[in-house]
Every structure is written in C-alpha cells, then in structure tokens.
Structure 1
Amino acid sequence: MAPKVLVSDKLSETAVQIFRDRGIEVDFRPELGKDKDKLAEVIGSYDGLAIRSATKVTEKLLENAPNLKVVGRAGIGVDNVDRVAASKKGVIVMNTPFGNMITTAEHAIAMMFAVARQIPEASASTHAGKWEKSKFMGVELTSKTLGVIGAGNIGGIVCDRARGLKMKVIAYDPFLSEEKADQMGVEKVELDTLLKRADFITLHVPLTDSTRNILSRDALEQTKKGVRIINCARGGLIDEEALAELIKSGHVAGAALDVFAVEPATDNPLFGLPNVVCTPHLGASTTEAQENVALQVAEQMSDYLLTGAVQNALNMPSVTAEEAKTMGPWIKLADHLGAFIGQMTDEPIQEINILYDGIAAEMNLDALNCAAVAGILKASNPDVNMVSAPVIAKDRGMKIATTNQAQAGVFEGYIKIIVRTDARERSIAGTVFSDGKPRFIQIKGINIDAEIGEHMIYTTNEDVPGIIGTLGHTMGKHGINIANFTLGRKESKGEAIALLYVDDAVPANVLEELSGTGLFQQVKPLQFTLG
C-alpha cells in the first residue's frame, strides 16, 4: 500500500508532483494549516505531513496521528513543531537547512551594504524630493573587519562573499576547527576578541540556551566604537533594548535586522532610530529559495517513506539512501540484539554498552545505537522506534555508551551489547553473514552460530546428556516444527545454552512441560520482527 502524505501549507505544484511521481498518494490541502480542528480530524490517515510555518504540529495533533511517521518542514525553523512530543511518538521531524542558505546569506550581505551606505534612509529622502547628499556619508566595506558569529552553512557563505569584497573576516564558532578556518580563509577567534576588533558583526547561529542574548548588554558594550551589527539569523540573539540605547549614544553606528525577539514585530525599541535597517523576516524570501525548500522537503520525505533514508532530521541520526541499503542488515541485527536483551531482562536497565567491531565500527553508529536501544525497549513498549528510543531511554535514566574497535577475531565485524541492572549483567553479540542475514554469535560469553527466526526458544542448562533429546521429543510430541537448532557451552559439564528457531509460537503449556523436566534453569520464548 502506497504511503499517504498531507500537504497542509502552500507548497509549489512542482513539489506536490514530486510525491506523485515517486508513487506516493498526496493530498494538497493548504487551507488546513490554519484550521487546527479540521487538521486534527483528518491527520489520522496520513504517513507524512508536509508543512511550512502556518501548520502547528502540537502534542494534541500528534495524539490524533497514529500512522504519522514523518513531518517535513519546508524551511529551517521548526518553532511550529513540538519536537519532544514528536520524538516520543516516534515521528521524524525534518527541515531543509540548505534550500535557502544562499538566499539568507545574500540577504545578510545586502543588509550590510544597506547599513554601511544608509541606503533606505537615502532612498526615502530622495523619494521625498530632498537632495541631502552630504547627510548620508557611508563607509566602505573593503579592508574592514567582519566578525561572523557562527561559521556554519549560512555563516560560511557569508564569509566567502565577504572575502570576495576584500574584507578581513574573523569568526567565532566553538565547532570551527583551525584547519577548517584556514580552508575558509578566515581567522578563528574567541567571542571577546571578535567584539573588540570587528567593524561589522553578523550573526548566523540558531537560537539555543547557549546563544540566547549572545549579544547582551555587556557584550555590546565591549564592541568597537562605530560598529555596525547585522542579524538575519534568529530573534532573541541580541538585547534589543541595549542595542537601541547604544545606537542613541553613538557607540553603535548602525544596525540591520531581519529578525526580532517578538514576531510579527509591530513595535520594537529599534524602530524609528537613525541608520537602523529593518525587514520583516525576509531572509529566505526569494522565489528560488521558496521553490528549493519545497522541492527538497518533498524529496526527503519521499526518500524516507520509500527507502528509509533519513536526511536533515532534527530528532534522529541522518541515514543516506546508500547507507540505508548497506546498513539495512546491520540495523536489523542491532534491533534483534536489543530485542533479545529486552525480552530477557525484567528488571530496570541502568547501563547499555554497545561495542562495534571491524566493518561495523565504520558505519553510522548513531543510527545503529538508535536501533539497538529501540530493540531493547520494544519488549515493554511495542510502539517504540528508532526516533523515540533515545528519548524514552533518557527518561528512564539509562546510560548509553559506545565503543568501536578494529577487527578483532574471525568475523569482518560484529556488534555486542552489554546491559547492566542492579541484579546482573547480560550480553549478546551478532554479525551479518555474506548472505545478508543477521546471526547471533555469542550469548553470555558462549560462542554460537544461530540463525534468527520470528519464533524462538532460549534455554539455559548444565551440559549434561539428554538436553537435545528432551527438546526434540517435546517439540515433536506437540507438533512444533524446529527450523534450526543451535547449542553452545563454555566447557564440558559446564554452563550451556540452546536456541531453537521454530515455525510457530510455542504454547505456554509446552514451555511449562520443558521447565518441569528439571533439566533447564531457564526456558524463555522469544519473538523477533523479521520484516
């Protein structure tokens, strides 16, 4: 059955056609974005929801969307999506951070020119029939120092354009390495250095707890006299009251803002001040950008719904289409290993340690971690998936650690999960064979080679005669066919295990009969999702 997507905001017809061309059923109903009650009525039948800014994806809406798998935002900002609620419901939230990068960067450069040459005021004066040529004395950009706060995707483009204008570019970004800074042709500095040296300061960071009010009153007072400030990133990064006062005092020569702490901004302390250029959040407002983000979100959502590829997700590791193909068996293995642990563990898990060996260690470990943790948690909550698993594990206080190592052993690669509770430690390892099928290769330190089936029985016992016969006889007596039978032991007469892959679920009375023989310390039915 084809996936079904609802477009509840205004996306281009070309973007809607992408869904159709990919074989996805799509309903284009942009009027629903502003009708939350009607949207809640219909959302239950959709696998995907494509939006812009009008649609509000709230916890209440998500409660009415049992089939929803992905929300795609055509644009960068996702303030209109409750990401925590979406994660708990296992819904991927995607945005399109690259579709409007150039447009936003160009707007920042345009705003810098505008405030450097007082273009809006000069234009208004000339339109009014005045000829105040001497009043609008600007400054050149050439040879001036531009301080870029945030040198990521958009900030990086601004750096490149500014260097083309022969500006000296310095950048503050905790995630910018010296090597990357050298490649970009910028000087990496600390924030206090940037504030003291920059003739122009432009912001290109998201609004987070660490960046909120990054240009505080104290920071603004540290700036060079005559500085000009540009913000086309997010409102809330600047103390607007303090900036207004410093403009009035003459310390700050001008500012250009496309974003404000409160939007729509109909009243602001910066409005009406000399050499303050204001635009109504136009950073992404070009024909090309609006089309690009719409096309991009349609492609991303289609890829996920059809192939499992995850791009630009905000609540799950990204997995490319190529990774989805090559990693598919390993993601399934991680899920099976976790499912074994989850079904075997009744008490609360405190720690999950995941070891990746050989070729497994070279894969997308974040995605594999999500699959393993999801497998563990499904035993107690079947609705858990790779999106919701990390959130639920955190809520339960589970500590998750990852180790990767070069190939150590006969297998090209393997995954091992060790969990700890108050009572015990439990471990299992597995690999993927050349046939693409996951296998269990070790349980409790005992080496095995077990094919994984939908229905299995796990037993522990002392290594004594009669185990195989008892298992085979009991299954046969009750008409249960054994597809695969695996044994393992640590040493002769020591601890031993058995894994039976059977065609059908084993009834409780058969399990009780096996336990009643006195040969087994543990008899546990297991179930795995193979599809």
Structure 2
Amino acid sequence: MAPKVLISDKLSPAAVQIFKDRGINVDFQPDLGKDKEKLLEVIGQYDGLAIRSATKVTGKIIAAADNLKVIGRAGIGVDNVDIPQATARGIIVMNTPFGNAITTAEHAIAMIFSVARQIPAADASTQAGKWEKSRFMGKEITAKTLGLIGCGNIGSIVAERAIGLKMKVVAFDPFLTPERAVLLGVEKVELDDLLRRADFLTLHTPLTDKTRNIIDSAAIEKMKPGAFIVNCARGGLVDEEAVRKALDDGKLGGAGFDVFVDEPAKENVLFGAPNFVSTPHLGASTSEAQENVALQVAEQMCDYLLEGAVSNALNMPSITAEEAPKLTPFVQLAEQLGSFAGQLTESGILTVRLEYAGAVADLNTKAMTSAALTGVLTPLLQTVNMVSAPVVARERGIAVEEIRREKKGAYETYIRLTLVTEHQERSVAGTVFADGKPRIIQVKGINMEAELAPHMLYITNEDKPGFIGHLGTELGKAGVNIATFNLGRDRPGQDAICLVEVDGEVSQEVMTSLASVSHVKQVKALAF
C-alpha cells in the first residue's frame, strides 16, 4: 500500500505533484494546520506530514500520530515541532536548511540600501505630497566598509554582493579560516576591530549563548558615529533598547531589522525611532525561495518513505538499518570526541582530522565523520546536525581528513580526532568498550581513561604534590560534588590533565576560584 502524506500548510502545486508523480497518496489541505483539533483528529491516518510554520506539531499531535514516520519542514526553522517527542516516537524530523540563503542575503542588502537612503520614510513623505528633498540626505555605500558578524552560508553571499557594489568587507567569525577569507575577498578581523571600522554592520549568525546581545550598548559605543546596523538573522543578537537609545542620540545613522526578540512584533521599543526600517521577518519570503524549499522537502520525504534514504534529518543520522547495531556506539563516540575538542577551541579551525584504527576503520566512516563535525561545530552553531555539518564545514573552508589504519597500540580499535587551528593542534582519542559505552583514552597525547558525562571539568595542571587536595577542597567549599575523578600525565612533574565529573553546572564564581588553585594552568566546564 502506498504511503499517505498530509500537507497541512501552503506548499506549491509543483511540490504536491512530486508526491503524486512518485506514487505517494497526497492529501493537500493547506489550511488544516491552523485547526489544531481537526489536525489532532486526522493525523493518525498519515505516514508523512509536510508543513511550513503555521502548523504546530505539539507533543499532543505527535502522541496521536500512530502511523507517522516523517515530518518535513519546508524551511529551516523547526520551533513549531516538538523534536524530542518526535524522536521518542521514532518520527524523523527533516528540514531544508539551505534553500533560503540567497533570498535572506538579498534582503540584508536591500535593508542596507533602505537605511542608507532612508527609502521608506522618503516614500511616505513623497506620497503625502511633501517633496522634502533636503530632508532625506543619504549615504553612498561605494567604498564604505561592511562588517559581517558571521560569514557562513548567508554571510558569504552578502559579502560577494557587497564586494560587487565596491564595498570593503571585514568579517568576524571564529570558524572562518584565513584561506576561506582570501577566497571570499574579505578581511578576517576580531570583533572590536570590526566595530571600530564598519560603516555598515550586518549579522548572519545563529542565536546562541555566545551571540545573544553580541551588539549591546558597549559594542555600539565602539562603533563609528553615524554607522548603520542591519539584522536579518535572529532576534536577540542585538540589544533593541541600546539601538533605540543610539538612534535617538544620533550615535547610529540608522538601523534595519527583519527580526525581533518577540514576534510577531505588534509593539517594539524600536518602532518610531529615527531612520529605523523594519519588515515582518521577510528574509525567506520570495516566491523562488518558497518554491525551492517546498520542492526540496517533497523530494526528501519521498526518498525516505519509498527508499529509506534519510537526508537533512535533525534527529537521526544517515545510517542504514544493517549498519545501526555496530555503528551507533561509534557514532556517539565520534560526536563526543568532536564536542570535547570543539568546546576547548577558541580560534578558527583549519583542519579536522579523523583517524580510524582497527575494526572501526571498516565501518561507515562518513557517518562517524559527520557526527564528529557535528560535535565540533555545535558549541558555536547550535542548529548544526549530522547532515548539515559537512556542508557547513566546507562553506567555512575547514579541511576534513580521514585516515584509516590497522590496529596500532594497546586498543583493538579507536578513533582519534585532531583539530588544527591557527594557533595549535589538539587531539583526543576514544574507543567503545564491551559494555557499548564510549570512553576517552587519550587527550593531547596523555593517556587516561574516562567516560564522558553531562557535566565535567577539564583541567590542565602541573604534576605537583598538593594539587588534588587543593582542588578537592575548593570544590567541597563550593558545595560541588565529585562523581568521578580521572587523571593522566605526560611524565612525573610535567604536564597533567584532570577530568572531573560533577553533579551539575559549575558557576563562574567557582570556575574563577578553581583557576587560582595551585599548579592549575586552565579550567574549562564541558557539557555532553
């Protein structure tokens, strides 16, 4: 019997036709997603659900979806899908992460022109019959400096367009390598340098703990008088109150926002500010982009329902049923090794090198490498997944190397991950024991054995007497319970590493006190 798919949002007729042409029974009800009760009533009939943003796939809907195998989101955002509940029920959640890039980049360029020439206000004035030529004195963008915060898929397209408009482009992005920057024709700079130099600043980065309010009052204070800010990425990257004050004070020449902290933004502190241009989250809203993501999601869902092929899945790696029992623990190990190294890395990554030794070298290394890249990139790009990670790494000029070898050393099989950055190389190795659990077996060439846990402390120190006692005392004073304690050292009296599993998050105050412990060189909190 042919699979049955419900389309509960507006998708293009061409996407509907793809399902039909490939033998899928498709039920096109573009307004059904707005009726939660009706959707709840009928969802149990379908093998697949294709949506945009109007349909809210809640835990309640998923609980009633007895036959559902795949949810396909035409677009990148999946805030309207309860992914943990879908995963618990074995439902794959797919999106189309790269279909809107050009459209979003073009919107950012349009915003730059809009604020530079005050186009919306000039239009309103002219249509009101005022003809205020002297009021709307604009700025040329030719020869001006554009500062990009984030130079990934969308940011690099903005850079290319800006260079074509004869702008000078500088970029702040920890993942942007010098070689990739040269290829794009941009100058890689630190954030403070970008703030100081940019005539126009535009953001193209996910919203994470590190990027939240990356442009605040202190950052604006460092900018040129009369500079412009454009945000078509995510609400929350820019402090809206600080921008309003800077516009009112004349510190900023203008700002253009397509995204806001609270959406839909019926009221906002920025509304009515001098030379403030706003749009209602239109970054992906062109007919071409909507068509692209609709066709993409239809093809992906058909591939899975008819052939079992998984692509752009947010909650499942690309692994066949035959491979799964052997491969899954090593995929988990690879992602943990990547996360371990990624959380310790502050500078731009040039190369990710993966060495597979022994029996693991005969498995699907592509899936393991994708998992490792996901771990490496997730600390800064929280939306990355096993499917998108290789693409994101390639876009950012990160070289990925795989080495397969026969058994070497004490362990029958292991994975070693090495990160090469602009300043150093860092390696970490691990294996899977008979109990099926991944273990760390070496860090920076120092042998040790440790199982990774949700909350850990990574400490590098000099191998000197008194260190362990002092460390334990500080943790005890702070009320931090030690679950496990793992040590390794290069040689007596030299460099040593300590991995401590603790029962919960450690406050910054405690981290500061640990950094002052005798013989400690570095303390870092890790989460897995």
* TM-score range for the pair, normalised by the shorter chain length: 0.5 to 0.7
Structure 1: stretches of 5+ with no match in the other structure: 340-352, 370-385, 388-402, 426-531
**Equivalent residue number for residue 332 of structure 1:** 322
**Equivalent residue number for residue 265 of structure 1:** 265
Q: Deviations over 1:314-373 (max 9, x none)?
A: 2334x4xxxx7xxx5xx614425779xxxxxxxxxxxxx99654453643215799xxxx
Q: Distance in 2 between matches of 1:338 and 1:358?
A: 14
Q: Distance in 2 between matches of 1:262 and 1:4?
A: 36
- Contact 1:334–1:415, Cα closer than 8 Å, also in 2: no
- Contact 1:196–1:224, Cα closer than 8 Å, also in 2: yes
Q: Distance in 1 between matches of 2:371 and 2:280?
A: 42
TM-score (normalizing by structure 1): 0.64
**Equivalent residue number for residue 337 of structure 2:** none
- Contact 1:229–1:256, Cα closer than 8 Å, also in 2: yes
- Contact 2:357–2:404, Cα closer than 8 Å, also in 1: no
**Are positions 1:174 and 2:164 aligned together?**
no
Q: Distance in 1 between matches of 2:54 and 2:303?
A: 24
Q: Distance in 2 between matches of 1:311 and 1:333?
A: 16
Q: Distance in 2 between matches of 1:354 and 1:222?
A: 50
**Equivalent residue number for residue 136 of structure 1:** 136
Provide the identity percentage: 63
Residue identity opposite 1:19 in structure 2: F
Residue identity opposite 2:214 in structure 1: I
The CA deviation at 1:123 is: 1.2
- Contact 1:357–1:404, Cα closer than 8 Å, also in 2: no
**Equivalent residue number for residue 363 of structure 2:** 360
Q: Distance in 1 between matches of 2:246 and 2:359?
A: 55
Residues 422, 33 of structure 1: alpha-carbon distance in 2 compared, 3 angstrom cutoff: closer
Residue identity opposite 1:360 in structure 2: L
Structure 2: stretches of 5+ with no match in the other structure: 330-355, 373-384, 387-400, 415-430, 440-528
Q: What is the DSSP-based 3-state SS (H/G/I as helix, E as strand, rest coil) of the residue aligned with 1:305?
A: helix
The CA deviation at 1:281 is: 1.4
The CA deviation at 1:69 is: 2.1
Q: What is the DSSP-based 3-state SS (H/G/I as helix, E as strand, rest coil) of the residue aligned with 1:244?
A: helix
Q: Distance in 2 between matches of 1:245 and 1:254?
A: 12
The CA deviation at 1:300 is: 1.5
- Contact 2:358–2:405, Cα closer than 8 Å, also in 1: no
The CA deviation at 1:287 is: 1.5
**Equivalent residue number for residue 102 of structure 2:** 102
The CA deviation at 1:304 is: 2.0
Q: Distance in 2 between matches of 1:422 and 1:357?
A: 13
Residues 225, 71 of structure 1: alpha-carbon distance in 2 compared, 3 angstrom cutoff: same
Q: What is the DSSP-based 3-state SS (H/G/I as helix, E as strand, rest coil) of the residue aligned with 1:93?
A: strand
Q: What is the DSSP-based 3-state SS (H/G/I as helix, E as strand, rest coil) of the residue aligned with 1:363?
A: helix
Q: 1:406 aligns with which of 392, 401, 404?
A: 404
- Contact 1:334–1:368, Cα closer than 8 Å, also in 2: no
Residue identity opposite 1:335 in structure 2: P
**Equivalent residue number for residue 36 of structure 1:** 36
Q: Distance in 1 between matches of 2:221 and 2:157?
A: 28
- Contact 1:361–1:405, Cα closer than 8 Å, also in 2: no
Residues 338, 261 of structure 1: alpha-carbon distance in 2 compared, 3 angstrom cutoff: closer
Q: Distance in 2 between matches of 1:360 and 1:422?
A: 16
Q: Distance in 1 between matches of 2:273 and 2:140?
A: 22
**Equivalent residue number for residue 211 of structure 1:** 211
**Equivalent residue number for residue 75 of structure 1:** 75
| 1:167-246 mapped onto 2 (5 Å cutoff) | 167-246=167-246
Residue identity opposite 2:305 in structure 1: L
The CA deviation at 1:311 is: 2.5
Q: Distance in 2 between matches of 1:201 and 1:367?
A: 33
**Equivalent residue number for residue 291 of structure 1:** 291
Q: What is the DSSP-based 3-state SS (H/G/I as helix, E as strand, rest coil) of the residue aligned with 1:169?
A: strand
The CA deviation at 1:134 is: 1.4
Structure having the higher Rg: 1
Residues 310, 240 of structure 1: alpha-carbon distance in 2 compared, 3 angstrom cutoff: same
Residue identity opposite 2:216 in structure 1: S
Q: Which runs of 4+ in 1 moved over 6 A?
A: 414-417
**Are positions 1:313 and 2:313 aligned together?**
yes
**Equivalent residue number for residue 122 of structure 1:** 122
Q: Distance in 2 between matches of 1:53 and 1:181?
A: 34
Residue identity opposite 2:49 in structure 1: L
**Equivalent residue number for residue 66 of structure 1:** 66
The CA deviation at 1:418 is: 3.4
Q: Distance in 1 between matches of 2:211 and 2:248?
A: 25
- Contact 1:57–1:80, Cα closer than 8 Å, also in 2: yes
The CA deviation at 1:250 is: 0.8
Q: Distance in 2 between matches of 1:269 and 1:356?
A: 60
Q: What is the DSSP-based 3-state SS (H/G/I as helix, E as strand, rest coil) of the residue aligned with 2:93?
A: strand
**Equivalent residue number for residue 51 of structure 2:** 51
